[in-house]
Each structure stands twice: as structure tokens, then as C-alpha cells.
Amino acid sequence: MKLNCLGCGNPVSLGEEYEDYSGSIRCNACSAILKVTLKESKILEMEFLRFAIPSVEEAFERRI
Ligand SMILES: [Zn+2]
């Protein structure tokens, strides 16, 4: 599935493992982190979190 980045509008491709997913994803185009809740490939919630630097992203993913 695809969704559009809230930061830059570019499409972000997500694999099958994201059909039911709640957490953060990163836009490859602008490195923004988006918080998403997906169920059966539908977007229930999407929220812009921040522009990421790698160390911040790692810390964020460890908290989940
Ligand atoms: Zn983006």
C-alpha cells in the first residue's frame, strides 16, 4: 500500500507487514517521521511527528 507523506507529499510505499500496523514510519524523501495506525490497509490515523535525524529515529523505534 501507499500513503502520502504529510511533510512533503511524496508517496511512501509500505509492504504487506504494514497492513495492520501502529507505530512510526519514515518518509524516504524528506526523512519525516509519521505516526500511523493502519488496519486492513486503511489509514485510521496519520500524524506528522518530526523531521528525523538517524539517532532520534533509532531512539524512537526502541521505545515501541
Ligand atoms: Zn516526506
pLDDT digits (tens, 9 = 90+) for 7-37: 899 999 999 999 999 999 999 999 899 999 9
Q: What is the residue type of 5?
A: C
User: Cell for 13?
Assistant: 510505499
Q: How far is the CA of 10 from the centre of ligand 1 (A)?
A: 6
Q: How far is the CA of 24 from the centre of ligand 1 (A)?
A: 13
- Length of the chain measured in residues: 64
pTM value? Answer: 0.72
CB neighbourhood size of 19 (10 A): 13
- Domain residues for the domain of 18 are 2-63
Q: How far is the CA of 14 from the centre of ligand 1 (A)?
A: 14
Torsion of CA 56, 51, 33, 42, to 10 degrees: 170
Indicate the number of domains in the chain.
1
| 52 Cβ neighbours under 8 A, 6+ residues apart | 26, 31, 32, 33, 60
